[in-house]
Amino acid sequence: MFQLSLKNLLRNKRRTFLTGASVSLTLILVCLLGAVLTAMESAEGSADNRIVVRSAISLTFSLPESYWQRLQQMDHVLAVTPLNWFGGIYKDERPENFFAQFSCDPQTLLDVWPEYQIPQDQVATWRQERNSFICGQALADKYGWKIGDQIFIKGSIYPVDLTLTLRGIYTEPNAPSAEKSIYFHRKYLEEALGNPGQVGTFFLRIDSPDNVGTVVQHAEAMFENSEAQVRAETEKAFSLSFLEMLGNIRMFLGAIGAAIVVSLLFITANTMAMAARERTSEVAVLKTLGFRQGHVVRLVMFESLAVGLGGALVGLGLAYVLVRGAARGMENVFPIFGTLAVTPPVALLALGLGILIGLVSGGFPAWQAARLSIVDGLRKLA
């Protein structure tokens, strides 16, 4: 039975190859979409007990520095630190030279991110030198930076250029993408701009994830009647908000994936039906020789499953390579996508879809072949 099915598959090599290739291509796209959705859900580096407070209008609007102390006095808040996005240009504007740049308060940054591991002597030096910065180990390895090296960053959002000296390198084993940022003194930037007292975002570390809802509501209510109203959200929600500016990404990607699978199902079913119709007389001969309906069904279903599962395996292998390449290419622009990977659930989904496509597309042709009478089949031979 196996040899007979294999010969039937190889009878029209071009059609078999194209059908299998369409399955592979479709499941590559499914794996890529699944990897994106998984990365969005995981939001590596986002802690459950960190909250971001920003302007309720837009990220482009700043908040008064006076909010700092009021946020610190809230119940359940352990630490608060201000953070401003600098967004300058290092070397040139190529995407591979893009990395996150933040002005911060060196005294409180590590209270909000205690998971950053950095020698205390480096922290002390960084806090003392106003034109110094710290960076993640991954970023230092990428550019070959060492303690004491100077870098020049050209301002793009802000009309100032910065010359900074590296005084510390931190590591974050649980979130490698967090090691691709630099942090420098906010006072240094304020002096260069001549516009002190403005903060882009406040990051809060609270005592327990169970109190997130309480702190969020309290923070928003506290400044409800202020001139600069705020929006409070979890760090994960804040990270995903950049993507959600484009719309409902999850629903959009899910709809694309469903449309792709349904389209492929029709294409594969039509291909298997064509192959079954071409062999009508052969099925009649097989029944004449003693093959039962079950044998005929298994023969057709095996061919369909072989195409579906074979295409899924090839697609899964190619998707693994392509997704890894996409992660390297996107991690500088969207750090959340630095963790793109074909996870076991996504891989199982792809294999399951391959099997489902094989079963569904081969089901109707197999049923037709099983019901075919010997007389009707042999009549086509005449």
Q: Kindly report, residue by residue over 290-332, the tens digit of the pLDDT.
A: 566 666 667 767 777 888 888 889 988 898 888 887 777 666 5
If asked whether residues 35 and 61 sit together in one domain, one would say no
If asked whether residues 6 and 39 sit together in one domain, one would say yes
Kindly provide the residue ranges of all beta strands, DSSP E only, lying in the chain, ordered along the sequence.
50-55, 63-64, 77-85, 89-90, 100-104, 132-136, 150-154, 162-170, 181-185, 198-199, 201-206, 230-234
User: Would the pTM count as exceeding 0.75?
Assistant: no
Cα gap 115→118, rounded to integer Å: 9
Domain of residue 32 covers: 2-43+248-379
116 domain residue, yes or no: yes
236 domain residue, yes or no: no
If asked whether residues 11 and 109 sit together in one domain, one would say no
At residue 26, the pLDDT reads: 83
At residue 232, the pLDDT reads: 93
At residue 152, the pLDDT reads: 95
At residue 365, the pLDDT reads: 67
239 domain residue, yes or no: no
| Pair 331, 337: CB distance under 8 Å | yes
If asked whether residues 69 and 197 sit together in one domain, one would say yes
If asked whether residues 35 and 167 sit together in one domain, one would say no
Q: Select from 167, 160, 171, 166 the least CA-distant residue to 84.
A: 160
If asked whether residues 262 and 207 sit together in one domain, one would say no
Sign of CA dihedral 117, 119, 123, 129: negative
If asked whether residues 39 and 62 sit together in one domain, one would say no
Between CA 43 and CA 110, with CA 335 as vertex, the angle to 5 degrees is: 75
192 domain residue, yes or no: yes
For residue 211, the tally of other CB atoms under 10 A from its CB is: 16
At residue 284, the pLDDT reads: 57
154 domain residue, yes or no: yes
Low-confidence residues of the chain: pLDDT under 70:
1-12, 40-47, 241-250, 253, 272-297, 300, 329-339, 363-382
If asked whether residues 291 and 220 sit together in one domain, one would say no
At residue 107, the pLDDT reads: 95
Report how many domains make up the chain: 2
* Domain stops at, among 163, 193, 228: 228
Helix (H/G/I), strand (E/B), else coil: 94:
coil
If asked whether residues 27 and 143 sit together in one domain, one would say no
At residue 4, the pLDDT reads: 58
| Pair 55, 231: CB distance under 8 Å | yes
* Domain stops at, among 228, 260, 281: 228
If asked whether residues 75 and 193 sit together in one domain, one would say yes
If asked whether residues 267 and 142 sit together in one domain, one would say no
At residue 44, the pLDDT reads: 46
If asked whether residues 210 and 303 sit together in one domain, one would say no
213 domain residue, yes or no: yes
6 domain residue, yes or no: yes
* Domain stops at, among 198, 228, 258: 228
Beta bridge partners of 150: 165
Rounded to a whole number, what is the distance in angstroms from the first to the last CA of the chain?
26
Tokens for 340, please give them: 């793109």
49 domain residue, yes or no: no
At residue 40, the pLDDT reads: 65
